[in-house]
Amino acid sequence: MFTSIAIIGRPNVGKSTLFNKLTKTREAIVSDFPGLTKDRNYGYIKLGSIKSFIIDTGGIGKDESNLSQNISDQAWMAANECNLILFLVDGSESLTSEDLDILSNLRKLNKPFITLLNKSDKSSKSEALNDISSKGIKDYLDISAEHSRGLDDLRKLLIKMLPEKNDEIVPDGKKIAVLGRPNAGKSTFINNFIKEDRLVVSEVAGTTIDAIRIPFTIDDNEFVFIDTAGIRKGYKQNHKVEYFSYVRAMHAVEESDVILFLVDSDESIVDQDLKLINIIAEQGKPLLIGLNKVDLLTRSERSEIYETKRMQSNFLKDFIKVEVSGMKGLGFKRLFRILNSLIKKSQTNYSTALLNKHLNKFIERSAPPSVGGRQLKLRYVHFGGTQPTTLIIHSNQDNKIPSNYKRYLVNSFREELGLKSIQLRIIFRKSDNPFEGKVNKLTERQIKKKKRLMKHVKK
């Protein structure tokens, strides 16, 4: 289920600090300077079996400037679209007229919200508690986002208040999310692939505004296409339809088994495509690039696509590219064969014996370098998980390993295991020395022998 949490409040009450603590990141800039957050920031929060989207908003104020009004509008857009709202106030100060206005507007939304008194660690006493009680708020939490005080209680409350089960019927089958910029031909491609006019198709970019699931069957195997809205440049600053279309697209990525990223081959790969591909790759999902609308290009124009600097970059070399035409149905069989193969590959568990056989081969081919004057020793490797495919290498060093040797191992494993278009991550762990801290105690016989040998040495 699509769930999201919005943090709102007036400027400088600690929204960005709380966002960073809940997401366990440093994505939001934190400063004592009020009004620093201007655009909505977003991330994920994991609460038991629930993984929810969380949005940090700019401070809602009474300043009549255009910038302040835009920031407030962005915050209320997030509040309107989310499932749950965290209303943050400065517990070390009395409630201001801005706080009271926000509370009044919150109640008009008719959405569940949690009132949080932040900065409870400060010694200064305020009338904030009395103020919220006088406004009819009996349930609240005292927290200190900066010192992580009260956040465990907040997480428990969020688990209770967020929906855990999906109320909508989700089709069974392997899920293929179709992403790309607006007008890349995603809906046309899906309609022709399943041979049904299930999706509205228009030359106007942005016709699709939600993530739509379309089940289909091939060779008695069930699959689900997830058609997503085209993601424009500057989606964070745009109006709520585009912004939350992006949010839903990212949720589609999270629940899918493989990503098909469609590109308008007439425009080739642009910077926005690279940015989106990078965001998707960070989620650990396998990704296939589909060069759509190739029926509109000549043979020489098709060749020129692969000669561009972006297409020849090291980043894109790790992904499989397939030429298709959503309108004419060209390349569909090969595309689906590769998509199905990527799903199986991304879910494969590799044996320790096989991985160590390859690792020894790579070490013989190129010996590990010295790190800090010590020879790097790669002792063994084992499988660590899928999506991304994770390998854990135990060595005598776990940091300061040269990036070029890391890249060499990633490329070698990717090639040997056939992991093109599969996200691969290698983690280095320092192996414990089994003899560290142990004293080698000699037996009485060994002590006598040592004394006897030492007499000969002295002579």
32 known member of a binding site: no
293 known member of a binding site: yes
Place of tokens 């390993």: 401
281 known member of a binding site: no
96 known member of a binding site: no
Task: Name the nearest CA neighbour of 252 among 175, 171, 173, 193.
Answer: 175
121 known member of a binding site: yes
217 known member of a binding site: no
229 known member of a binding site: yes
45 known member of a binding site: no
15 known member of a binding site: yes
Q: Please state, in angstroms and rounded to a whole number, the distance separating the CA atoms of residues 148 and 319.
A: 41
13 known member of a binding site: yes
Q: Please state, in angstroms and rounded to a whole number, the distance separating the CA atoms of residues 154 and 148.
A: 10
Amino acid at 324: V
Q: Is 284 exposed, middle or buried (0-12, 13-18, 19+ CB in 10 A)?
A: buried
290 known member of a binding site: no
16 known member of a binding site: yes
79 known member of a binding site: no
177 known member of a binding site: no
91 known member of a binding site: no
4 known member of a binding site: no
349 known member of a binding site: no
10 known member of a binding site: yes
Both tokens of 402, joined, read 């040269």
314 known member of a binding site: no
170 known member of a binding site: no
Q: Please state, in angstroms and rounded to a whole number, the distance separating the CA atoms of residues 202 and 446.
A: 89
178 known member of a binding site: no
139 known member of a binding site: no
Q: Please state, in angstroms and rounded to a whole number, the distance separating the CA atoms of residues 105 and 88.
A: 14
9 known member of a binding site: yes
365 known member of a binding site: no
207 known member of a binding site: no
39 known member of a binding site: no
Q: Is 364 exposed, middle or buried (0-12, 13-18, 19+ CB in 10 A)?
A: exposed
150 known member of a binding site: no
89 known member of a binding site: no
First vs last C-alpha separation in the chain:
85
165 known member of a binding site: no
418 known member of a binding site: no
Which residues does the annotation place in the binding site? 9-16, 56-60, 118-121, 180-187, 227-231, 292-295
Which residues does the annotation place in the binding site for GTP? 9-16, 56-60, 118-121, 180-187, 227-231, 292-295
